[in-house]
Amino acid sequence: MIVPFFGNTNGVFMAHLDITILGQQYKIGCPEGEQENLLKTVHQLDEHLKEMKGPSRTLRNEQLVVMAALNYRHQLDALKAENRAQTDKLNKRIEQLQEAIAGALGKEIEKEE
């Protein structure tokens, strides 16, 4: 959870950070102990935006941020779909294994009788 410096913390102790993205400084808060992870993320985002901007410098920062947000959202949706497909595949395999085990146990019980 990232909140503006002045945001509601809902009772969570928040650390406050000064960050810079594309030369713009921001004050944000994050849960205590998450500062290092957030700073890594900020660095990655800043580098990604700079790469997108490239040498042309024709795109405004707002356009870059919107494009990056859409790209990240698309990647997240693709990963979620892949995760769902893998989860479905694993669940189907688990059901097959459970049926095989139940069948094997059933045969074993019949032999004992």
Query: Long-range CB contacts (< 8 A, 24+ apart) of 36-39?
Result: 38/2
At 44-75, the pLDDT tens digits run 999 999 998 887 678 888 999 999 999 999 99
Sign for the pseudo-dihedral over CA of 23, 62, 32, 36: negative
Q: Is the pTM of this model over 0.85?
A: no
CA 51 to the chain's CA centroid: 21
What is the fold, at CATH topology level, of the domain defined by 1-54? Double Stranded RNA Binding Domain (3.30.160)
Residues (pLDDT < 50) of the chain are 5-6
Domain boundaries, the chain: 1-54, 59-113
